[in-house]
Structure 1
Amino acid sequence: MSTQLSAGGADITIDQENGCRIDSLRVDGMELLRQGPHYGSFPMVPWCGRTANGRFRDGAAVHQLPVNHPPHAIHGLGRDLPWRTAGVGDTGAAFYFDLADPWPHAGRVTQTFELSGDALKITLGVETYQDSFPAQAGWHPWFNRTLTAGGPEAQIAFDPAWQEERGEDHLPTGRRIDPRPGPWDDCFGMPYGVDVTLTWAGELELKVASPAAWVVVYDEQPEAVCVEPQSGPPNGLNTLPRLVTPVDPLEVSTTWTWRRLR
């Protein structure tokens, strides 16, 4: 089961049965997202990136998550679950799922999509009516490196305040360093909001923006580049926990804005 939204030459397909991911984002017929059941753009929730050894501390308790990318737990649970439909219109849609085992706390995750002819806004929310718990939320889009056969490769432009030093275990060491040139599989700090531009020369410019202060950039595969706004760094359940409480839910949004260059 999938949901399609259209506005002004832009079309998206959302597969709520496959992690409520965006299967397809087309602008004037050009596909922006890498195709395949594990790609597109998926939500990362209730954690982002890797959680060390699948364990996180919540007060005095230590919880074990499924180690789905040994030796770590990666990218949350939302991408692997079916989501329920809350509402669908011509240019907007909303979905949700309820947190349950193997996540140790009850809660609800929502995701909304708002499409226009030159932008897509996505919002993730995590709420609880019971116990407080740490959580993260973000997105993992796989943008095609080229949009057309033989066309130009995407160029990445951004100006982060720092880069999280990455250890041999692919987790941040806790040390902030000056940003280094790519290729990257790295987390960067942008304390005034994520602002990353992808440019396919002569075809399309895409800006990925978010009020979130963290972004992971991954461009080590020839097929795609990933620009991942998220509410905290990898392993952040342990190193920078953000509590979701009954009176203070977690909400994060990202807006992708495109400009045609043809």
Structure 2
Amino acid sequence: MSNEDITLTAGDAEVSVRPGNGGRIGGLRIGGTEVLRQGERYGCFPMVPWCGRIRDGRFLDGATVRQMPLNSPPHAIHGTARDGAWRTARVDAHEAVITHDLGDPWPHRGRVTHVVTLTEDSLTLTMSVEAYDDSFPAQIGWHPWFHRNLGGQDVRLDFTPAWQEERGADHLPTGNRVDPKPGPWDDCFGMPDGVDVTLTWPGQLELKVTSREEWVVVYDEQAEAVCVEPQTGPPNGLNTLPRLVTPLEPLEATTTWSWRRL
């Protein structure tokens, strides 16, 4: 059990996993081309035990109001696991399994397991949250930072959501569902048949992000990168759409990125 970086390879694909840096995917190289923005805060990090912002950092946990640190004032954002240490449970040539124990400031004991599986033309990420003692609300998501530009070509996003969560001035969903609007976005969309978003860098690469989950946040307000974030509920979902993790019933989610060279 260690937190050393892990490298998986399959065909001309290579992925790095960084247990010591919040359990994030540090990079994904396809045919020698890095598709994820590099840096300590980037790559693709796990969002757990919540995704996006919690309003004022507070959520209802049964009858108790919990306060999380305001790491994006006035809100708490993206969970605690990306700031914590992860450990390697198992590695072989094409798969790594890493774990993170939930604890302070999160008020419940539990374990997050992240399985990273690489093939020649896909990367599958599966995350689960288990409760040890008592039940608690939780969310799972992934926050990849894809390079906006590869080989001189800007990425094109293609997806057909059923709705867009109306975003309030505080960047949180108001609870209203509206027709999808043109970008730029820092917005949550509903895809009830499952997340299905295609990123195309003309003449370079087509990469498809899919998940059985029905929520995706798209963030493309930054010059360098575009984020496509499948998650088990909307921002502020610990309050508006809690998924309960119990000692008998973990929460699990999967996303797959599949690609082809153009």
Q: What corresponds to 1:228 in structure 2?
A: 229
Q: Does 1:19 align with 2:22?
A: yes
- Find the counterpart in structure 2 of residue 99 from structure 1: 102
CA RMSD across the alignment:
0.6
Letter of the structure 1 residue corresponding to residue 194 of structure 2: G
After the TM superposition, which parts of structure 1 deviate over 4 Å for at least 4 consecutive aligned residues? none
Give TM-score scaled by structure 1 length.
Answer: 0.98
Q: What's the CA shift string for 1:24-50, capped at 9, x where partnerless?
A: 100000110001100000000000000
Match of 2:147 in 1: 144
Q: How does 1:34-73 map to 2 (within 5 A)?
A: 34-73=37-76
SS of equivalent to 2:145: strand
In 1: Cα distance, 2:135 partner to 2:237 partner: 16
Gaps of 5+ in 2: none
1:238 aligned counterpart, secondary structure: helix
Query: 2-side partners of 1:113 and 1:182: how far apart?
Result: 31
2:260: which partner in 1? 259
Which of 107, 114, 127 in structure 1 is aligned with 2:117? 114
Amino acid at match of 1:65: M
How many residue pairs were aligned? 259
Deviations 1:205-230 (A, max 9, x none): 00000011100000001101000000
* Residue type of the alignment partner of 2:163: W
Q: Deviations over 1:187-221 (max 9, x none)?
A: 00011100000000111000000011100000001
The one-letter code of the counterpart of 1:154 is V
* In structure 2, C-alpha distance between the alignment counterparts of 1:98 and 1:130, rounded to whole Å: 13
What is aligned with 2:207? 206
- In structure 2, C-alpha distance between the alignment counterparts of 1:202 and 1:228, rounded to whole Å: 24
Q: Which amino acid aligns with 2:244?
A: L
Q: Which of the residues 73, 87, 92 maps onto 1:89? A: 92
| Cα distance in 1 between the residues matched to 2:143 and 2:256 | 13
C-alpha separation between the residues in 2 aligned to 1:108 and 1:33?
Answer: 27
- For 1:171-190, list aligned pairs within 5 A: 171-190=172-191
Give TM-score, length-normalised by structure 2: 0.98
Code of the aligned partner of 1:71: P
Q: Counterpart amino acid of 2:23?
A: C
| 1:133 equivalenced with 2:136 (yes/no) | yes
Q: What SS does the aligned partner of 2:153 have?
A: coil
> Are 2:238 and 1:246 equivalent residues in the alignment?
no
Whole-Å separation in 2 of the counterparts to 1:101 and 1:152: 43
Amino acid of the structure 1 residue aligned with 2:60 = R
3-state SS of 1:237 partner: helix
Structure 2 counterpart of 1:87, one-letter code: R
Shift of 1:177: 0.3
